Amino acid sequence: MRPIISIITLIIVLSLVLFITSCRGGTPQSVLDYNFKQGIAEVKMKFMDNAPPDKIYPLSKFKIILELDNQAAYDITTGKVSLAGIVGDYFLMEETEKELDPLQGRSMLNPSGDKVQVEFSGTSGQPFANAKEYRNNYYLLLKYSSKMDFGATVCIHPGLYDMYDSGCKTEKSKSFSGQGAPLAVTNLEQIIYPSGVGAEVEYRLLVKNRGKGKVTLVTFHGAKLGGEPLECEFRQEDGTTLTTAKFNEKKQEAMLICKTFLKDQSSYLTTLSADFSYDYVLEEKHTLNLVK
């Protein structure tokens, strides 16, 4: 009985996906085949109409309502929204920080991604002395944690001189547009070190921030060549290696070095995959305008 219920549930879910697709003017086949884990995508932020108002009058209540739209291909696991720099003498906010529930990213079962509204309530004061208005510049901060998966097809050839044979052709370097997140593997370099009993392969993955915000920390969780695990670490500027990489304001990138030994002497195609998580900060400057 349970398998029948599961099949019915799957049919209902797929039917909903096809219905959403048709409403958006696309074809069902295009959504079912679409790879959401490509390009650069992140959370979009926008204010709802008149929240906050363009003009806030003295001793009145107002709201700041922010819509968050997760356009990435991955879920936000934890996050918070905060308001920084609001002067309490002129704009007294009930709260300046709110925690976020998990937000699903875009996928076949959720093509649009999750949206949520975050609401802040406040009360205005009076402009100082004879001033007709007071403009308060503040920052809207979104901090969250998410993940990014990388996958590519690579050609392995342990031979030093034969760059290709009837199996496949090797590529020393490959570029990528992104994996559906602000964090992206943008370049993959393959280096083969042949030997008499086999060969060692080294992969260098350039991990960069391509979004509008700032990546603060990237954590490597594992990589595989085919089905075999790889030994990987981020190479720091001082030559040390770690499984985490701290990004600074100026240099928003890091190099992941992966190595393994090969036994097969002929060329073959296989898959290279790597999993990452990261912490991200998106910052926008805005203004509250208090007028008499």
pLDDT (mean) for 139-143: 98
Task: Could you please state the CATH topology (level 3) that the domain comprising 34-145+281-291 is classified under.
Answer: Immunoglobulin-like (2.60.40)
**Thinking of the domain 147-280, which architecture would CATH place it in?**
Sandwich (2.60)
Q: Please report which confidence band the pLDDT of residue 1 belongs to, taking 50, 70 and 90 as the band edges.
A: very low
User: How far apart, in whole angstroms, are the C-alpha atoms of residue 76 and residue 147?
Assistant: 8
User: How far apart, in whole angstroms, are the C-alpha atoms of residue 21 and residue 73?
Assistant: 17
Task: With a cut of 90, say whether residue 8 has pLDDT above it.
Answer: no
What is the pLDDT, as a whole number, of residue 195? 67
pLDDT per residue over 19-77, tens digit each?
Answer: 444 444 444 446 667 899 999 999 999 999 999 999 999 999 999 999 999 999 999 99
pLDDT per residue over 213-223, tens digit each?
Answer: 999 999 999 99
- What is the pTM assigned to this prediction? 0.84
Q: Please report which confidence band the pLDDT of residue 267 belongs to, taking 50, 70 and 90 as the band edges.
A: confident
User: How far apart, in whole angstroms, are the C-alpha atoms of residue 200 and residue 230?
Assistant: 12
Cα 41 to Cα 3, 5, 205, 230, distances in angstroms: 37, 35, 20, 28
Q: What is the mean pLDDT of the chain?
A: 87
8 A C-beta contact, residue 190 and residue 230: no
pLDDT (mean) for 182-211: 90
What is the pLDDT, as a whole number, of residue 199? 83
Fold match between domain 34-145+281-291 and domain 147-280: yes
The DSSP bridge pattern shows strands 214-225 and 268-291 to be antiparallel
Domain ranges of the chain: 34-145+281-291, 147-280
User: How far apart, in whole angstroms, are the C-alpha atoms of residue 39 and residue 106?
Assistant: 13
Identify the sign of the CA torsion 49, 51, 53, 57: positive
pLDDT (mean) for 107-133: 94
User: How far apart, in whole angstroms, are the C-alpha atoms of residue 84 and residue 82?
Assistant: 6
